[in-house]
Amino acid sequence: MGIVFVDVGVSLDGYMAGPNRGPDNPMGGRAMSIHQWVFECASFREHLGMKGGVSGTLDDDLIKRVFARSGANVMGRRMFDEGEVAWPEEAPFHGPVFVLTHHAREPWVRKGGTTFYFVTDGIESALAQAKIAAKGKDVRISGGAETIREYLDAGQIDEFTLHLAPVVLGDGLRLMDGLSAEKLKFEQTGSSSSALVTHVDYRVLR
């Protein structure tokens, strides 16, 4: 049985997206620079159908491992709304994606194996469906902040990786705001870094 994990990028001041974000402004302007290290990696570019990038580096191997372990993804509708416009026709998931929303919609099938399923009956249902679809691999709670916080608060996340980028945003969407501090405990299990980013791994204790 796979586990449930989060793997997201944050700025030095704790934002995972900038202000005025939306489908016309994915991630919110300068906040896309949080992912600079990702765009430089060949394995990520490959998933987007783009050429180039560096391979065989610590960052590139890490991205490869994340894609390899993810049997299914769960995301919130606001993250999906941005991606619906920004992702190429061959969306970068290559597997089932469960989108939390209050607005029912038929599944959206993309080239290359990605299908988006719209789940209107809550986080437990989305995760249960994702676990079945993942066929023993891990389930990634992809984002955004509201969705990750709901799963953290519900005690459903096993592992959590932050990619800390040397970028200050000053405003935007904070990842950890409003969590139940007494309930949540993290154990740091590893860290590594390159010139562009520091990766920190945690186990979420129950």
Interface segment toward ligand NAP; rule CB under 6 A; list 20-28, 42-50, 178-186, 190-198 = 20-28
Q: Which of 36, 55, 57, 101 binds ligand NAP (CB under 6 A)?
A: 101
3 state DSSP class of 150: helix
**Does 169 engage in binding with ligand NAP (CB under 6 A)?**
no
- 193, 199 Cβ separation under 8 angstroms: yes
Comparing CB distances to ligand NAP, the nearer of 107 and 122 is 122
Q: Classify the C-alpha dihedral 66-159-127-83 as positive or negative.
A: negative
- Return the residue nearest ligand NAP (CB atom): 144
Between 134 and 148, whose beta carbon lies closer to ligand NAP?
148
The 8-class DSSP code of residue 33 comes to G
| Residue 205 dihedral angles phi and psi, to the nearest 5° | -90, 145
First to last CA, the chain: 18
Per-residue burial over 113-130, b if 16 or more Cβ lie within 10 Å, else e, is: ebebbbbeeebeebbebb
Paired residues of 9 in beta bridges:
163
**Is 8 an interacting residue with respect to ligand NAP (CB under 6 A)?**
yes
Q: How far is the CB of 103 from ligand NAP (least distance, A)?
A: 5
Q: Which of 6, 17, 152, 196 binds ligand NAP (CB under 6 A)?
A: 17
Residues 131 to 160 in contact with ligand NAP, rule: CB under 6 A: 142-147, 150
* Rounded distance between C-alpha atoms, residue 37 and residue 196, angstroms: 6
Residue closer to ligand NAP, measured from CB, 56 or 107: 107
> Could you tell me the two tokens for 102?
């209050």
Segment 21 to 50, residues that bind ligand NAP, using CB under 6 A: 21, 26-28, 34
Q: Tell whether residue 77 is a contact of ligand NAP (CB under 6 A).
A: yes
Rounded CA separation 174/179 (Å)? 11
Indicate the residue type of 122: G
Q: Rank residues 64 and 118 by Cβ distance to ligand NAP and give the closer one.
A: 118
Q: Is 78 in the site for ligand NAP (CB under 6 A)?
A: yes
Residues that bind ligand NAP (CB under 6 A): 8-9, 16-17, 21, 26-28, 34, 75-79, 82, 100-103, 122-123, 142-147, 150, 173
